[in-house]
A and B are shown apart, each in its own frame.
Chain A
Amino acid sequence: MEDKSLVWFENRNEYLVLENTTADILKRLSKGVSVHNIAGALSKKLDVPLEKTIDFILDLEHNFFNKEKPNHNKLINDYRDVEYPKKFEFIKYYQINNKIVKVSYLSEKELSFVHPKFNHLSIENTVSFDYQFDVFINTNYIFLYVDNDFIGAWSNKEIHYFQGKFSMQLIQKIHQKEEDKWMGVFHASAVSNEKKSILFLGDSGNGKSTSLALLQANGFTCLADDFVPIDLEKQEVYSFPAAISIKKSSLETLLPIYPELQTTAEYNFTRLNKIVRYLEPNNNNFFAHKPCNELIFIKYEKDSELICKKISKVDAFQELIPDSWLSPLKENAEVFLNWFASLTCYKLTYSVNSEMIATVNKIFNNEL
């Protein structure tokens, strides 16, 4: 891609961007060609002494093939001694399509980590349900059980991983696909029209969610916010039913369109010095899934004129990978690399909402 090679290492689920010649050398090393042979060819090609290329290739071999799997020194804990709560203070039922999920929260604390995002799906008490999620804190860890199976436990510094796993379990149930049937989950916003979807990426505070809220008020559908799953089979963006988080700084822009934000609950995240409100997604078909051919790195910048241009995919790749969960399975990684190669990537900077919406419209209609 663009004069570079993208290489994936299975044992570490690691992606590399390197020169084509270097990729070729790694390929030969992995096939068992001797260092001496490769060094000889390289020495001739670059017209440098053989001992230099031998050193170089030994170095590559050491860095990529002799590297141990990273050892995180994680304590192994089977949580056998954990006492399962006898009573949960909050029981909520969420309806997603034709499925009802019962979630039991030990206390308000656990409730606060999950419920605000899914409040709009709550239904009154019901007798029957399809899946049961239990969430409780015990000795500084937050536990998640799904249908009585232990899923995981996370410390208070890993709440976002707990929330991620909760969401992952939810999409597995909604869309009836186990974890190995997903290509990845992206930290993005996904918007769709009738036919396809576009992912909006960018650092926190760049305006992903605000743009999504603006677009869903202008004829587009919100497929997913913050947690965008793409499946393995067709590489389509699947609907994720969580609400859109709206920061206080976006309120002024959005209140004229969504007056309900004035009265909806405000959640105060003191630790992050951030207040967030949630906006219901306009999607009412949570089965929806759409193909995706474009990524847009979006940035709201006060007083900026509208700039929309294609960007280097190697650059886009560098931004995308560290922020994404990508399946560590070989087949899935291959599908991901092929999918990425087929994409077009844009960078869109704006300050006038209507111009941004018009540009996104053009991208959807291939008019740019």
Chain B
Amino acid sequence: MKKQINTNEISRKDALKKIGNYGKYAALTALGTYLILNPKNAQAQSPEAPGTGF
């Protein structure tokens, strides 16, 4: 079977151009994209306790 090659790949810049006036909403969406990182609540060693617990 012939492999289908997707030739529709476009850059972000082109994509923004394509959606025209809606591009500005992409900027708003980007502002709402963030990452939440939580450190450990307590000091820990690597989990490698011997045996099967207690």
Residue numbers of A with Cβ under 8 A of B are 12-19, 21-22, 25, 46-48, 52-53, 56, 59-60, 109, 112-113, 116, 137, 140, 142, 156-157, 159-161, 163-165, 167-168, 184-185, 187, 204, 226-227, 245, 267-272, 274, 276, 317-318, 321-326
Contacts and interface: CB of A to CB of B under 8 A. Distances in A.
Size range of the interface on B?
Answer: 20 to 34
B25 A14 contact: no
Contacts of B9: none
A204 B46 CA distance: 8
22 contacts: A13-B39, A15-B36, A15-B38, A16-B37, A17-B37, A18-B35, A19-B31, A22-B31, A48-B24, A52-B25, A59-B32, A159-B53, A160-B48, A161-B43, A163-B44, A227-B43, A245-B46, A267-B50, A268-B50, A269-B50, A270-B51, A322-B38
A25 B32 CA distance: 11
A112 to B, nearest CB: 5
B25 A112 contact: no
B49 A159 contact: yes
Contacts of A204: 46
A323 B40 contact: yes
B35 to A, nearest CB: 4
Nearest to A156: B53
Complex A-B, nearest 4 residue pairs according to Cβ-Cβ distance, in ascending order:
A156-B53, A164-B43, A18-B34, A163-B45
A117 to B, nearest CB: 8
Contacts of A167: 43, 45
A325 B48 contact: no
A73 B1 CA distance: 57
A184 B39 contact: yes
Contacts of B49: 113, 159-160, 163, 269, 271-272
B34 A16 contact: yes
B10 interface: no
B52 to A, nearest CB: 5
From A12, A46, A159, A204, residue with most partner B Cβ within 10 Å: A159
Contacts of B47: 159-160, 272
Contacts of A184: 39
A271 B49 CA distance: 8
Given A15-B37, A321-B39, 9 more contacts: A15-B39, A16-B34, A19-B31, A48-B24, A160-B44, A163-B44, A245-B46, A272-B47, A318-B37
Contacts of A317: 37
B40 A324 contact: yes
A324 B51 CA distance: 25
From A56, A204, A271, residue with most partner B Cβ within 10 Å: A271
Contacts of A22: 31-32, 34
Contact of A52 (B28, B40, B48): B28
A141 B45 CA distance: 18
Contact of A13 (B38, B45, B50): B38
B40 to A, nearest CB: 5
